[in-house]
Amino acid sequence: MKTREFKQVDVFGARPYLGNPLAVVLDGAGLSDREMQHFANWTHLSETTFLLPPSEAGAAAGADYRVRIFTPGAELPFAGHPTLGTCHAWLEAGGKPKAQEVIVQECALGLVKIRRDAARLSFAAPALQRSPVEAALLVEVAAALGVKTDRIQAAQLLDNGPVWLTLLLDSRQTVWQLSPDHLALKSLGYKVGVVSIENAVPAAQLIVRSNREARASSWRSSHAAGALPDLPEVEVRAFAAPVGVNEDPVTGSLNASLAQWLIAEGLAPGVYIAEQGHCLGRAGRVHIEQDEQGQVWIGGESVTCIEGSVRL
């Protein structure tokens, strides 16, 4: 065993212990897949990450560091709150990015760009693939969640590395009142994300792309001036029993894929804040913004809560 620097970081919370905790091993060199997985299972957090130097190909492409991401039950190609939390820990430990504008993270999915401002870090949402959900599967998922199908307004399979079966529900009360059968969800083999949107601009106005771009531009101007217009109330929950996590407090990868789907379909504006973690006593806030080039950015604050060393 070797003594390695360690941090536990709270992500997507402006204050400690209200977001999603992440274990970060700052030196993962020499650890086997089995050792990483065993430690991730032991921490019993939704994710544990291990920092490594970039691969030769990653370094040539501009990567500042490489990260491996584990749930208690499996390795992930990409995940959102580990991306922000690991970058926060790397910077706090003295990491120096090659480029001033962005930090570049290498993970199993590829290279992920991360930008920083005074308030938070934000990652560029990876490319999304999406497809409809078969009717029979939708009925099974609804039953496992304990929700009537008439409460479901839309459904999609979303893939940005992790695959999420996602449901748009009719209200935040419906989202909060879900009582999932986690064993049933595990047997279906899908991670399931649910979202509701209230006080949104009427869909007829959102469908027109020019209107959507105008609203995003208006929001940026208002934000720069220190005033925020009304934003929709977006509530999210994430159930990931197939990878050993019944409910994730705040989920970056899910919010990234949800944002790309909802914005593209005119169901949400180009800028909003998603809330997640209410049913677990958390107050997660995920900041969504689609820039003028169409790239969606997922941002949030990170706070270091524990630091020291581990023997691995």
According to the model, what pLDDT value does residue 46 have?
93
230 band by pLDDT with thresholds 50, 70 and 90: low
Q: Are 256 and 160 in contact (CB under 8 A)?
A: yes
Query: In angstroms, how far is CA 72 from the centroid of its own chain?
Result: 17
According to the model, what pLDDT value does residue 241 have?
95
Average pLDDT over the chain, rounded to an integer = 91
220 band by pLDDT with thresholds 50, 70 and 90: very low
Count of CB atoms within 10 A of residue 25's CB? 26
According to the model, what pLDDT value does residue 101 have?
85
212 band by pLDDT with thresholds 50, 70 and 90: very low
178-190 pLDDT tens trace: 999 999 999 999 9
With a cut of 80, say whether residue 216 has pLDDT above it. no
According to the model, what pLDDT value does residue 210 have?
34
253-270 pLDDT tens trace: 999 999 999 999 999 999
Q: How much of the chain, in percent, has pLDDT values that exceed 90?
A: 86
With a cut of 90, say whether residue 221 has pLDDT above it. no
The SS3 call for residue 55 is coil
129-294 adopts what CATH topology?
Diaminopimelate Epimerase; Chain A, domain 1 (3.10.310)
42-73 pLDDT tens trace: 999 999 999 999 999 999 999 999 999 999 99
Token readout for 35 is: 């050792």
| Mean predicted confidence (pLDDT) in 134-147 | 98
Nearest CA among 171, 167, 111 for reference residue 143:
167
According to the model, what pLDDT value does residue 119 have?
75
Count of CB atoms within 10 A of residue 53's CB? 15
> What pTM was estimated for this model as a whole?
0.89
Apex 200 CA angle, 114 and 255, nearest 5: 30
265-310 pLDDT tens trace: 999 999 999 999 999 999 999 999 999 999 999 999 999 999 999 9
Nearest CA among 78, 69, 147, 151 for reference residue 114:
78
According to the model, what pLDDT value does residue 200 have?
59
| Mean predicted confidence (pLDDT) in 234-260 | 96
Quote the CA–CA distance of 82 and 152 in Å, as a whole number: 30
Of 4-8, 226-230, 308-312, minimum mean pLDDT range: 226-230
Give the residue range(s) of CATH 3.10.310.10 domains in the chain: 3-124+301-311, 129-294
State the residue for tokens 């040539």: 60
| Mean predicted confidence (pLDDT) in 106-125 | 94
Query: In angstroms, how far is CA 155 from the centroid of its own chain?
Result: 18
CATH number 3.10.310.10 is the correct assignment for the domain at 3-124+301-311:
yes
86-96 pLDDT tens trace: 999 999 999 99
Of 45-49, 93-97, 208-212, 236-240, minimum mean pLDDT range: 208-212
Q: How many CA atoms lie within 13 A of 194 on its CB side?
A: 28
149-166 pLDDT tens trace: 999 999 999 999 999 999
Burial of 76 (0-12, 13-18, 19+ CB in 10 A): buried
Query: In angstroms, how far is CA 104 from the centroid of its own chain?
Result: 17
Token readout for 187 is: 């047997």
